[in-house]
Amino acid sequence: TQLLEQSPQFLSIQEGENLTVYCNSSSVFSSLQWYRQEPGEGPVLLVTVVTGGEVKKLKRLTFQFGDARKDSSLHITAAQPGDTGLYLCAAPGYSTLTFGKGTMLLVSP
Amino acid sequence: KAGVTQTPRYLIKTRGQQVTLSCSPISGHRSVSWYQQTPGQGLQFLFEYFSETQRNKGNFPGRFSGRQFSNSRSEMNVSTLELGDSALYLCASSFLAGQKAEAFFGQGTRLTVV
């Protein structure tokens, strides 16, 4: 079973601060995905990383896939209240997604 | 185009009852997956259907079942409800299967068992 450990579990910061959340495993993945889930909504895919060492940017969000393809990180620059939500990493299988338990981010004005 | 639609949004049931949840995928998507989300366990995979065939099943008891119709709409059923079945049930659809497929999630059905 592929186990994805996310840290921290909860993060509360002020608007304008930077932060990094992590997704770690002992397994090697061919790809990893990051989702954001807002209260009352389903998860929305942010990015898929495929190549070891890959870095992808989505506005103020920077995603990195570890060289060994066992871990990934999400860095947010100058966080805004609209970034509030549950950030989930997931490992795609043939017809399934295995999720980490997520990092709950709260950005206060 | 319309997103994934799940009905109902909220449901309250009594222990021992059964419940049926519905999911209409994005038009053209043939793969439908179901997930259970709880605060303690996070998102856990229930099952996946493609062209009316269940291709994969998670580690849940037989009380959890599902099906997919020829128009790709899917239903999941939970029989003999237990308090621990209280959760957000999410449906996701995708056009392709595989590791680069993008899953689109519905808003979920919040089931409360009392």
Of the candidates B53, B31, B46, the residue with the CA atom closest to the CA atom of residue B99: B31
- B4: which chain A residues are within 8 Å (Cβ-Cβ)? 42
Residue B99 token pair:
């590791």
| DSSP state letters, A19-54 | EEEEEE-SS--S-EEEEEE-TTS--EEEEEE-STT-
Nearest chain B residue to A94 by CA: give it. Answer: B98
Instruction: Using an 8 Å CB-CB cutoff, list residues of chain B that contact chain A.
Output: 4, 31, 33, 35, 41-45, 48, 50, 55-56, 58, 90, 92, 97-108
Find, among A24, A12, A18, A7, the residue nearest to A79 by Cα: A18
Residue with tokens 């919040």: B110
Suggest the residue from B33, B94, B99 to mutate for an interface test with chain A (most A CBs closer than 10 A): B99
- Tens digit of pLDDT at every position of chain B (114 positions): 679 999 999 999 999 999 999 999 999 999 999 999 999 899 999 999 999 999 999 999 999 999 999 999 999 999 999 999 999 999 999 987 665 678 999 999 999 999
Residues of A in contact with B41 (CB under 8 A): 101
| Reported confidence tier of residue A93, pLDDT bands at 50, 70, 90 | confident
